[in-house]
Structure 1
Amino acid sequence: MSLVNPLDSLERQNEKLLKIAEALMRRVEYGTAPSGAAYAQFERAALLEKRVRERTLELERTLELLHQSNSQLAQAHHDTEAARRNLADAIETVSEGFALFDPGDRLVLCNARFCRDFRDTVHDLRPGLPFADYVERISRSRRLVLPEGVSAAGWAEQRLRRHQDRSVMFNVRHTVDRWLQVSEHRTGNGGTVVVQTDVTDIIRLERQERLKLRDKQTRMIRATLDHLDQGVCIFDETARLVAWNLRIGALLGLPVRRLHLGASFAALLARLDEEFTFARGEERAGFARWAAASGPRDPIRVEVMRRDGTVLRIFGSDMPDGGFLFSCTDVTAERESARKLTELNEILEQRVMERTLELEDALSAAERANASKSRFVAAASHDLLQPLSAAKLFLSSLADRCADPREASVLAKAESAICSAEQIIDALLDISRLESDGLRFDIRPVALSDILRPLRDEMEVLAARKGLVLRMVDSSLTVSTDPAFLRRILQNLMANAIRYTDRGRVLVGVRRHGGAARIEVHDTGPGIAAEDQSAIFEEFRRLDPRASRNDGLGLGLAIVERACIRLGHPLGLRSEPGRGSCFMVSVGLAGAVAPVRQAAPGPARPAGLAQAGLIVLLVENEPQLRRAISVLVESWGVNVIEAGDAAAALDLLDDLDLTPDALLLDHQLGSGLSGTALFEEISARLGRLPCAILSADRSSALRDTCAALAVELLPKPLDRHRLGQFLDAAARRMAAE
């Protein structure tokens, strides 16, 4: 039970509490209770007074906060009402109809212009109206002009489907020729803002502009049709004439009374039957069926010819509204030109055929001449090599017996001259072979060291004669190529570098470049200007005017270029005048192969050494070369049995009834058996003997045949060193047996 009534005011409660405190104090001071109890009551009264005072302060603070909250709430309510009034005033001042729906699609507020033109159904617009009810009432309005074929329910359904989009804009037509543009936009909290704008003036203006544009386009179309060189007529969906130009009348020969608005297509087609015949394309019936078709039409093209020979081309095309259009063009001159062009083409074709036959005859003659030239060069080279080989062997045999230094010098010069002639013939033969379509290469894996080391031994002598330093960096790479032609390429490049370098050095090395080995030949010669770097690969072209015939005919680089092209080895050149040159040949890498040891060429064999006492059968159809070989090998102590052809050789062996120790057989014996066939015949009679085939034929077929027979091939002109090595091997074989 409380000492004070809570319903009393604070002032009344304080007054009561003060009286209670006074009574308690008096009771404590004048009471009959013991002094200890009186003091305890006093303490309780003091504590009670303190608590009453604290409670009073708390109540005062609470009342103060309550007064502040009430004041703020009143101010907020005032501000909200002011904002609502301002918003209502603002949307009322907007010239468009405005409505706001909350996230639940219920109307929050709208202005007086919203749905003003549809008040017959939306007179009760008020907050809380569902959006679906608003749309349903609009759809039933008598003032709404629905699209053709759309019912009120269908329009409402479409409207609600559009409402699902975030942004919507469309036009609505009013019965009094007014237009509203309705746009919807979503708010940040998911509500919807609907704005209705009167666009009647804009649509009416667009309509006027469209009518003006249509009139302007009509005048432009008319002017365009009248200025066309083609005749044009346009028919509507009922095949009635709606537009035409004057040119169509002139082309079809139609009088003015025939061309009038509404004229039928059938009447114009009848005119075509009277004056024209169909030349190309559709006939009259197909033409009429095309015009009478009700569905979409494909374009149609026909040609008609008038009685006076005029040819007209008519093109028909479908129109979007179901009508069709015809254009008529005079193509008489074009057809006449085409006829003349056809006649001219026939004449030209005849001339081309005649010229083609002439060119074919000329090409055949050129091919025959080229083949004859190649055969002539090969035959001439072979025939020239025979006496040169004989002369070279005669000189070699004389050099072995000559003791006078002056005569030895003369013999050396003569041998050098013969070697130069031999090199020129070899170059001509190489050119002839590289131009031949029947050339076949022996492509196989080759160790570069097997090619570079012999060339180093050969070229060091030439470099030393000119006081040059030849340095060759050995390589362990293996390439895929024809070893004979690659050796010829590098030999020509190195000889060319030595020939044109007066001082310094020549360096040969190999670099790995991707999947290829790039062989480089560097020199410190005069260099080659950029404008001359293509000319040096031409036949018989030498840039140094001081070079003599002994330096060659300028075929070395021509052979290099053609061989690289046929082998597919890219050839490069880097050079600057005064700074030397670098020729580069790139050859594809192959699998590793074991390098072949090349035996160094031995010296000429004087008489009385290992070959002494050998019996050699020599078969050579050239008497001078046969005699030269005999003189040379007899000077080494070898006994020679000579024969001029295969038959004579076989008869000689039968008559003598002996077995020679070695065979030297020319491959081209003129008649009868070849050298390889003769070897097989002798082997069948006497057993296998050491044999060397002598030939100027450098073809791979002969090399393959000799390799298959395991006989040695000695190319002409004969090299005395290789001949001596062959006889040495034969002598060792005889001694071993």
Structure 2
Amino acid sequence: MSDAPGLIDPADPVEVQNAKLMRIAQSLMRKVEQAGSDPGLAYSQFERAALLEAQVRQRTVDLERTLALLHEANAAAEAARSNMAEAVESVQEGFALFDHSDHLVMSNSRFCREIADIVPRIEPGLPFADYVALVSQSIYLALPEGETRAQWMARRMARHADDSTVFNVRLTRDRWLQVGEHRTASGGTVILQTDVSEIMRAERVKRDRLLDEQAQMVRATLDHLNQGVCIFSARQRLVGWNDRMEDLLDRPIDGQVLGIRFTALVERLDEQIAFSSHFTREHLIAWANRTRPRRPISFEVNRGRDAILSVFAQEIPDRGFVISFTDVTAEREAERALRDMNETLERRVEERTEELGIALEEARRANASKTRFVAAASHDLLQPLSAAKLFVSHLEERAGSDAARATASKAVSALSSVEQIIEALLDISKLDSGQATMRVQEVELGRILHSLQSELGPAADAKGLRLKILDSTHIVRSDPVFLRRILQNLVSNAIRYTSAGRVLVGARRLGGTTRIEVRDTGPGIADEDRATIFQEFRQLGPSASGAQGLGLGLAIVERACGMLGHPLDLLSVPGRGSTFSVTVPRLSTLPQARPPRNDGLAPRTRGLVVLLVENDAEMSAALTLMIESWDNHVIPADSGEAAMDLLAEIDIIPDRLLIDYQLGDGMTGLDLIAVLRTRHGPIPAAVISASRHEDIAASCAAAGVSLIPKPLDRHRLIRLIDDPADAQA
């Protein structure tokens, strides 16, 4: 029985399999009947035959069930195919489906209906390339201008490479198909064809109507333009112009010129317009004949004798071009008039500039003359002023009564005021004329502050003020003369305008700079007066009198700080006081404070021999009287030659040299000092001079000689005797 199933081929039809099973059963029955001699064997065979028959019956049932399912599946597939065909046929567009190997699977009756000559060839299994070839050879296909059927087919096959594409195909008799081609998920292709002829015709009508409206608008616009306009086609034919064109050319352009070539029109207008030498008629024709894109051009032509037309030519998108003409006669006449006016104005400006130059030169000469006059006058004033001051100081020391000493002290104070006024005039004159030379160098700030304490302390004491100037070890970078002058003016102003309280001067670190502050307890300065106080000859308050100065101190401070690049600041509260500050670059600090100096009215040193060379008799007598009153000896001389002869005669080497800079015998004080030092060694020396010229100060500094300006300050004379190195501080 195990071999029985192998006798049946499952691929055989059910009827064949049943017949085989029946024959097998009959054969087994016969064998059973023939084996009667062996009852056990016969029963066994019968039993086997019965079992086999049951299996045959079960297999028959299974086969019948399978056959029923197959019939049902075939019926469902046929129904689905029928439904799909009906669905495809119901699509309003032409529909075709190509499989992944580009063979036609199915299509509906509308597919290629507009291309009737290829419809009989559209059958399942048609390759896509053959379908495109059929369309390209159809008599209903309207090829684009200039394109062959082979080129159309190649372009169509190129579109087939896209996953999705939509395009229009033009057919004969003004018909259009819109073709959409889309790739399916399995790699096949779906094609939809839609007849869009009515849409295309409606769009064309609408476009033509719009073009007509645009043409009318363009025409109306051209006629309303102030420029004359000519329009030429890509073939250089005149296709339009406006009325203004005829007005500008003063010649009617009738319909006979419509379509005329550009060159012919230029020749016809040659009598009306004249080109310039910079842009000729040949240049214009060459521009119109260019095969490459034309750049816009602009030029001018003359119409008749008086009119000037500005011409602008530009290419339009279809390779045609537009030329416009604008009457610019009025503008050119205005430009000519303006040019003539400009030339006239330029001549007047040149004349006025020349006059101003002459006036400026005269002002410069006058300013230089003023400066020289002030310097000369100051020198002539300082000579007798110094002598008077020294004589009065000697009287003050020798006065026998308090009244005499008070009178002498007032005289010294008055002379000091005159001295300050003269020095202020000299300073402001130099700063205004630009003759002030700043010699920026390392400056020990402590020397300047200490000298100010000695110089201005008595003035503060006379007013009952407490002047406190803090010592400083800072080394700053500035001009020593002008820095001292700046601080002197600030402290003097603080003392002058402070009626009670104190004046405090000190220096503090501020980053890499030193901030020098002058604080007072005076009346303060209102905000509206801050700009006024830095003006020349302007003073505030009841102290604004000539006896208190000319109001030049802060003007000098502001100008000097500006030239040195030292920021000047003011912080003031009315009724509480003011703080002026000057910020200077700091280089370093001294390792220790300097030793105190002699602040008395006479030097500590006695018994020195001082060579005094002064050609002014009164000044010489005053200095001699002053120095000898300090228990020192004076060898006076009025010239350099006299001094050298006198020293050679008495055979004495002086301890100090005090020599006027201008000796008047062809020798300066520095020259005499150099000769005496060569003969007698490095004798401490000082030059006295009423001149404020910077070259003198520089020469003295280079020679290691102190410079004491006139009017002479007795404190500097004292320092020359006690400490020659500090005489210039």
Q: State the superposition RMSD in angstroms.
A: 4.5
Q: Take 2:95 and 2:527, find their aligned partners in 1: how far apart are those partners?
A: 86
Instruction: For residue 566 of structure 1, report the CA deviation from its aligned partner.
Output: 0.7
- 1:408 partner letter: R
Aligned partner of 1:726 in structure 2 is 720
Match of 1:329 among 326, 330, 339: 326
Aligned partner of 1:50 in structure 2 is none
Match of 2:439 among 439, 442, 450: 442
Contact 2:473–2:593 (8 Å) recurs in 1 = no
**1:219 partnered with 2:213:** no
Aligned partner of 2:391 in structure 1 is 394
- 2:497 partner letter: Y
Aligned partner of 2:42 in structure 1 is none
Match of 1:665 among 656, 659, 671: 659
- Per the normalisation by structure 2, the TM-score is 0.76
Aligned partner of 1:22 in structure 2 is none
Alpha-carbon distance change, 654 to 584 in structure 1, aligned in 2, over 3 angstroms: closer
- Per the normalisation by structure 1, the TM-score is 0.75
Contact 1:294–1:322 (8 Å) recurs in 2 = no
Mean alpha-carbon deviation: is it higher for 402-411 or for 258-267? 258-267
- 1:486 partner letter: L
**1:681 partnered with 2:675:** yes
Q: Take 1:636 and 1:431, find their aligned partners in 2: how far apart are those partners?
A: 36
Instruction: For residue 557 of structure 1, report the CA deviation from its aligned partner.
Output: 1.6
Mean alpha-carbon deviation: is it higher for 198-207 or for 83-92? 83-92
Aligned partner of 2:536 in structure 1 is 539
Instruction: For residue 526 of structure 1, report the CA deviation from its aligned partner.
Output: 3.6
Q: Take 2:443 and 2:630, find their aligned partners in 1: how far apart are those partners?
A: 36
Question: Which residues of 2 match residues 699-718 of structure 1 at below 5 A?
Answer: 699-718=693-712
Contact 2:497–2:543 (8 Å) recurs in 1 = no
Alpha-carbon distance change, 84 to 575 in structure 1, aligned in 2, over 3 angstroms: farther
Contact 2:104–2:126 (8 Å) recurs in 1 = yes
Alpha-carbon distance change, 687 to 209 in structure 1, aligned in 2, over 3 angstroms: same
- 2:667 partner letter: L
Aligned partner of 2:335 in structure 1 is 338
Instruction: For residue 562 of structure 1, report the CA deviation from its aligned partner.
Output: 0.7
Question: Which residues of 2 match residues 478-497 of structure 1 at below 5 A?
Answer: 478-497=475-494
Contact 2:112–2:118 (8 Å) recurs in 1 = no
Q: Take 2:435 and 2:576, find their aligned partners in 1: how far apart are those partners?
A: 41
Structure 2: which 5+ residue stretches go unaligned? Answer: 9-64, 725-729
**1:611 partnered with 2:615:** no
Encode CA deviations 1:162-195: one digit per residue, 9 max, x unaligned: 5666765544434453445556678899988776
Alpha-carbon distance change, 259 to 665 in structure 1, aligned in 2, over 3 angstroms: farther
Q: Take 1:132 and 1:479, find their aligned partners in 2: how far apart are those partners?
A: 98
- 2:557 partner letter: V
Alpha-carbon distance change, 463 to 250 in structure 1, aligned in 2, over 3 angstroms: same
Instruction: For residue 394 of structure 1, report the CA deviation from its aligned partner.
Output: 1.0
Q: Take 1:125 and 1:557, find their aligned partners in 2: how far apart are those partners?
A: 111
Q: Take 1:90 and 1:639, find their aligned partners in 2: how far apart are those partners?
A: 142
Instruction: For residue 158 of structure 1, report the CA deviation from its aligned partner.
Output: 4.8
Aligned partner of 2:47 in structure 1 is none
Alpha-carbon distance change, 192 to 461 in structure 1, aligned in 2, over 3 angstroms: farther
Q: Take 1:655 and 1:302, find their aligned partners in 2: how far apart are those partners?
A: 99
Instruction: For residue 538 of structure 1, report the CA deviation from its aligned partner.
Output: 1.0
Instruction: For residue 354 of structure 1, report the CA deviation from its aligned partner.
Output: 1.3
Instruction: For residue 466 of structure 1, report the CA deviation from its aligned partner.
Output: 5.3
* Percentage of matched positions with identical amino acids: 53
Q: Take 1:81 and 1:403, find their aligned partners in 2: how far apart are those partners?
A: 155
- 1:223 partner letter: A
- 2:606 partner letter: Q
**1:694 partnered with 2:673:** no
- 1:384 partner letter: L
Contact 2:397–2:405 (8 Å) recurs in 1 = no
Contact 1:601–1:722 (8 Å) recurs in 2 = no
Q: Take 2:297 and 2:260, find their aligned partners in 1: how far apart are those partners?
A: 21
- 2:687 partner letter: I
Question: Which residues of 2 match residues 178-193 of structure 1 at below 5 A?
Answer: 178-181=175-178
Any idea what SS the aligned residue of 1:569 has? Answer: coil
Q: Take 1:535 and 1:339, find their aligned partners in 2: how far apart are those partners?
A: 51
Instruction: For residue 676 of structure 1, report the CA deviation from its aligned partner.
Output: 0.6
Match of 1:236 among 223, 233, 238: 233
Match of 1:642 among 630, 636, 639: 636
Alpha-carbon distance change, 258 to 99 in structure 1, aligned in 2, over 3 angstroms: closer
Instruction: For residue 665 of structure 1, report the CA deviation from its aligned partner.
Output: 0.6
Alpha-carbon distance change, 597 to 432 in structure 1, aligned in 2, over 3 angstroms: farther
- 2:702 partner letter: A
Encode CA deviations 1:453-486: one digit per residue, 9 max, x unaligned: 5556666665566565666676665543223323
Contact 1:508–1:522 (8 Å) recurs in 2 = yes
- 1:611 partner letter: R
Any idea what SS the aligned residue of 1:281 has? Answer: coil
Any idea what SS the aligned residue of 2:212 has? Answer: helix
Q: Take 1:456 and 1:90, find their aligned partners in 2: how far apart are those partners?
A: 118
Aligned partner of 1:620 in structure 2 is 614
Instruction: For residue 693 of structure 1, report the CA deviation from its aligned partner.
Output: 0.7
Contact 1:501–1:525 (8 Å) recurs in 2 = yes
**1:282 partnered with 2:276:** no
Aligned partner of 1:571 in structure 2 is 568
Alpha-carbon distance change, 138 to 409 in structure 1, aligned in 2, over 3 angstroms: farther
Instruction: For residue 358 of structure 1, report the CA deviation from its aligned partner.
Output: 0.7
Contact 2:96–2:108 (8 Å) recurs in 1 = yes
Encode CA deviations 1:542-577: one digit per residue, 9 max, x unaligned: 232444434332222211211111112222334444
Q: Take 1:473 and 1:162, find their aligned partners in 2: how far apart are those partners?
A: 98
Contact 2:96–2:107 (8 Å) recurs in 1 = yes
Encode CA deviations 1:102-155: one digit per residue, 9 max, x unaligned: 999898998776766567658888999987777676666655545445555655
Q: Take 1:193 and 1:316, find their aligned partners in 2: how far apart are those partners?
A: 53
Contact 1:447–1:594 (8 Å) recurs in 2 = no
